[in-house]
Structure 1
Amino acid sequence: MAFSNIYRFEVVEDRLELYHERRGPEDAVFLFPLVVVEENRLMSLAPHLCVRDLYSGELIMTDSGFDLTWTVEGPRKQEHIHYCYR
């Protein structure tokens, strides 16, 4: 299944904020802040609520890029999605 997403990461003080630009950069949807929990590991501070589903994330930095893992929990969703950015 082909699809594409555009995410924007912004560094703000002591965290990384994640936005989804599904409606373009001018109307990006704020998802959640990611905060450092260990060296090279960030986790969402609080989940993002979309209708009845909760989206949370974990970002792990590697030598060649980073991995972003999503967890989606809701009445009809129980998903775990792993992206590798290199």
Structure 2
Amino acid sequence: MAFNNVYRFEVMEDRVELYHERRGPEDAVFLFPLIVVEEHRLKSLSPHLCVRDLYSGELIMKDDGFDLTWTVNGPRKQEHIHYCYR
């Protein structure tokens, strides 16, 4: 299944805000803030509600990039998606 996603990470003083630019950068959807929970590991502060599904994420920094793991829970979705950005 081919698909394309564009995410924007905005680094703030105490968090990283994650946006999905599926409608372009001018109309990006705010997903959630990622906060530091331990060294090199950030987790979503609260899940993002999309219709009836809750999306949460965890970002782990690596020497050569980062991993982003999504968890989606809802009445019809129980998904765990792991992306490696290198």
TM-score by length of 2: 0.99
The percentage of aligned residue pairs carrying the same residue is 87
Corresponding residue for residue 37 of structure 1: 37
The runs of 5 or more residues in structure 2 that have no matched partner are none
State the partner residue of 1:64: 64
3-state secondary structure, aligned to 1:22: coil
Give distance in 2, aligned partners of 1:51 and 1:6: 20
The C-alpha deviation readout for 1:15-52, integer Å capped at 9, x for no partner, is: 00000000000000000000000100000000000000
Aligned length: 86
Query: Structure 1 regions of 5+ residues with no counterpart?
Result: none
Q: TM-score, normalised by structure 1?
A: 0.99
Q: CA RMSD in A?
A: 0.4
| Aligned mates of 1:29, 1:41 — CA distance in 2 | 23
Residue 85 (str. 1) matches residue 85 (str. 2): yes
Match of 1:11 in 2: 11
Q: Displacement of 1:12 after TM fit? A: 1.5
Q: Indicate the SS of the match to 1:26.
A: helix
List structure 1 runs of 4+ shifted beyond 3 angstroms.
none
